[in-house]
Chain A
Amino acid sequence: MRSMHLKPHTREALAGVLFVCPFAIGAALFYAAPFVVNAISSVTTKAGGRISFSGIANYTALLRNWAFQLAMKNTLLFTAIGISLLIICGLGLALLLSRPWIRLRLFRSVSLLPMILPGASLILAWQLFFQDYGIINQLLLAGGKRAIYFFDTQWGLWLIIFLYVWKNTGYIMILFMTGLSQIPRELYEASLLDGAGPLRQFIRITLPCLRPTMYLAILVAMLNSQKIYREVYHLAGNYPFEGIYMLQHFMNNNFDKLDYARLSTAAMLYSLLLFVVLVPLFYMERKSFDLG
């Protein structure tokens, strides 16, 4: 057979398309196309078998649903507080450990363990700690304070935030450590010559140089914050207490009723919210992410 006489860049383009094909087909089939279908069905209503465009009627109905309001409120509260705490802890630890130490490798492995060990396994131990007759309550009672009922009060949200921060601090810390190690030492030395103290060095050198890492950390933190549902499910099942009823619970419960309009509208609303927050992030840091 004669070999194909194609121009080099055509061959490259063909190879590119071939290499991307498996992923593109799968992603289109399972994610992209259904997303478009979702979008369409969230702005249409099905009345008596006929589909008609109904604008934002579905959205307003959803926003008036008290379960959805509760779920969104909890999810947003958790996301805001959790991510802030996580970034602070991760950055703080990374700064603390930014000087060369021995034995750091062991601590690094230990700090990654919470992420490696499956949450399903550890949840038993957490229950031992936090349940009504658990270890923390015993300590509190022994110290003369009142017991905290983590699973029935607003403390539940703080429990979830603690679990989230505990789980992800190691990864975020290593992220920041990598970012910190890329800041050239000369900047600090030069600033010392000019009489800058540690706080000034932090604000003027460290933070600006860490901007790309910070955006990456926020992105990772956001992606992981959506997975906290797993811990909540392990602790409390399908109908948890009010304080920790999150968006995924809302969607799961609607799955059982197969209320598809509500589901797709909720999904679209949440996606739009995330896009509004994250897309500007990406756009601002597109150089460091090698986009464009």
Chain B
Amino acid sequence: MGIYIFLCVLAFVFLIPLLLTIHYSLMLPSEYTVMIGNNAYTTFTFIPEHATLVQYAKALLSSLDALRMFWNAFGMTFAIVVGQVCVCTMAAYAFAHLRFWGRDFLFMILVGLMLLPPQATLVSNFVVLNKIGLVGHYASVILPGIFSAFGVCILRAFMRTIPTTCVEAANMDGAGFARVFISIILPQARPGIASLALLCFIDNWNMVEQPLILLRDTAKYPLSIYISRMTDTGIAFAFAIIYMIPPLLLYLYVQDDFVKGIRL
């Protein structure tokens, strides 16, 4: 019994910011005297006097800057996720099932790349992209994001659990490597791919370091950078909620597969 109470308290702690944000997004800006940074105590009421959708209306209809940034984030993240799924599944299949010269050595390098901190990789990326001349384009954020060593590692661990008997049977029936990959490996690796897609989406939906360095134009920033800098707090909460929706939807869609995939 006590355990349930403890879990409820813990769940509440996990949910507090979400509840607060929803709560404040339903208020008129005049109703809360919180201006982040001003010398006014935040008045905290449990139930808003008027629950209005004014914030949402204003956010969706009249703040073009922030909306464009939302779609920036969506476009970049979507491109990165699709790219990662394509590239990393192929590489993981090769590392897991195919024997080729230098595979183990390459895998050591892969692990080393995975352990590199983002602080180091950002410097590397900037140098290369500068030489290529891509700094300032969306591609400068998307392209490095596609080649994630972490993705290959977790997918490889997943694919190793796929029994090779199916593959051998297919080979006996005359399937080539591409056919085996598309028809046998991919469907069985779905939990791993779902896991990877969700993790990748969340990671890039929140990206802050790369746009700051690689995209100099503030019009190209994703919304994740701008929400905390928004001067008009009248719509900040509404945008916060709007910004939460895509990852939440994705999570609900791949929930079961994702939890199955949290293991190596």
Interface size on B, residues (CB 8 A): 101
CB distance from A93 to the nearest CB of B (A): 8
Question: Chain B residues with Cβ under 8 A from A175's Cβ?
Answer: 262-263
Question: Chain A residues with Cβ under 8 A from B124's Cβ?
Answer: 30-31, 34-35, 37-38, 267
CB distance from A236 to the nearest CB of B (A): 9
Q: How far is the CA of A252 from the CA of B236 in the complex (A)?
A: 26
Given contacts A26-B146, A108-B259, A255-B213, contact A247 B42 (CB under 8 A): no
Question: Chain A residues with Cβ under 8 A from B233's Cβ?
Answer: 124
Cβ contact within 8 Å between A135 and B209: no
Q: How far is the CA of A133 from the CA of B87 in the complex (A)?
A: 49
The proximity string for B residues 223-264 relative to A, scoring 1 for CB distances below 8 Å and 0 otherwise, is 111011100010011011101100110010001000100111
Question: Chain A residues with Cβ under 8 A from B15's Cβ?
Answer: 110, 113
Closest to B236 in A: A124
Cβ contact within 8 Å between B146 and A275: no
Interface flag for B47 (CB, 8 Å)? no
The proximity string for A residues 86-128 relative to B, scoring 1 for CB distances below 8 Å and 0 otherwise, is 0000000100110001000001111111111111111111111
Cβ contact within 8 Å between B116 and A31: yes
Interface flag for A74 (CB, 8 Å)? no
Question: Chain B residues with Cβ under 8 A from A122's Cβ?
Answer: 17-18, 21, 240
Interface flag for A243 (CB, 8 Å)? no
Q: How far is the CA of A258 from the CA of B157 in the complex (A)?
A: 40
Given contacts A12-B99, A15-B177, contact A113 B14 (CB under 8 A): yes
The proximity string for A residues 18-43 relative to B, scoring 1 for CB distances below 8 Å and 0 otherwise, is 01101110110111111101100000
Q: How far is the CA of A111 from the CA of B7 in the complex (A)?
A: 10
Cβ contact within 8 Å between A37 and B127: yes
Interface of A is mostly: helix
CB distance from A193 to the nearest CB of B (A): 27
Question: Chain A residues with Cβ under 8 A from B228's Cβ?
Answer: 120, 123-124, 233-235
Question: Chain A residues with Cβ under 8 A from B149's Cβ?
Answer: 27, 31
Cβ contact within 8 Å between B243 and A13: no
Interchain pairs with CB closer than 8 A, number: 272
Cβ contact within 8 Å between A9 and B227: no
Question: Chain A residues with Cβ under 8 A from B90's Cβ?
Answer: 19-20, 22-23
Closest to A20 in B: B94
Question: Chain A residues with Cβ under 8 A from B42's Cβ?
Answer: 128, 131, 133-135, 138
Residue B119 contacts which of A29, A107, A270, A275 (CB distance < 8 angstroms)? Answer: A270
Interface flag for A170 (CB, 8 Å)? yes
Interface flag for A290 (CB, 8 Å)? yes
Q: How far is the CA of A101 from the CA of B17 in the complex (A)?
A: 27
Interface-located stretch among A52-60, A153-161, A197-205, A223-231 = A223-231
Cβ contact within 8 Å between A223 and B36: no
Q: How far is the CA of A158 from the CA of B152 in the complex (A)?
A: 34
Cβ contact within 8 Å between A290 and B157: yes
Question: Chain B residues with Cβ under 8 A from A16's Cβ?
Answer: 94, 98-100, 103
CB distance from B31 to the nearest CB of A (A): 14
Given contacts A122-B18, A174-B262, A267-B120, contact A291 B247 (CB under 8 A): no
What are the nearest 4 A-B pairs in CB distance? A34-B124, A16-B100, A16-B98, A23-B91
Interface on A for B, CB 8 Å cutoff?
9, 11-17, 19-20, 22-24, 26-27, 29-35, 37-38, 93, 96-97, 101, 107-129, 131-135, 138, 166, 170-171, 174-175, 178-179, 216, 223, 226-227, 229-230, 233-235, 237, 247-248, 251-252, 255, 260, 263-264, 266-268, 270-271, 274-275, 278-279, 282, 288-292
Q: List 30 A-B contacts (CB under 8 A).
A: A12-B98, A27-B147, A30-B125, A31-B113, A31-B121, A31-B144, A35-B120, A37-B124, A38-B120, A96-B6, A101-B3, A107-B7, A113-B15, A118-B206, A120-B206, A121-B21, A124-B21, A124-B227, A127-B36, A129-B16, A138-B44, A216-B264, A223-B150, A234-B228, A248-B119, A251-B119, A251-B122, A267-B117, A267-B124, A275-B115
